Amino acid sequence: MSEKYYSRLAVNLVLTRVNENGQKEILLQLRKNTGYMDNMYDFACSGHVEKGESFATALIREAREEIGISLKEEDLIFLAVNHHYQADHVQLFFSVNSYVGEPTVCEPQECGGLLWSNIDNLPENTIPYVANVIEDIKLGIQFDDGDFVNLKRIKSK
- The residues facing 141 across adjacent strands are 155
Q: Name which residue leads in pLDDT, 144 or 35.
A: 35
Per-residue pLDDT tens digits for 108-122: 999 999 999 999 999
In a domain, 24, yes or no: yes
Task: List, for residues 33-59, the tens digit of each pLDDT value.
Answer: 999 899 999 999 999 999 999 999 999
pLDDT above 90 (res 103): yes
Per-residue pLDDT at 151 exceeds 60: no
77 occurs within a structural domain: yes
Would you place residue 153 in the very low, low, confident or very high pLDDT band (cuts 50, 70, 90)? low
Classify residue 109: in a domain, yes or no: yes
Distance CA 90, CA 83 (A): 5
pLDDT value at position 96?
Answer: 97
* Beta carbons within 8 Å of 83's beta carbon, 6+ residues apart: 7, 89, 90, 91, 143, 144, 145, 147, 148
pTM of the model: 0.90
148 vs 97: which has the higher pLDDT:
97
List the domain range (segments joined by +) for residue 83: 8-155
- Inside any domain, residue 41: yes
The predicted pLDDT at position 6 comes to 83
Angle ∠(146,141,12) on CA atoms, nearest 5: 75
CATH code, domain carrying 21: 3.90.79.10
Asked whether residue 102 is assigned to any structural domain, the reply reads yes
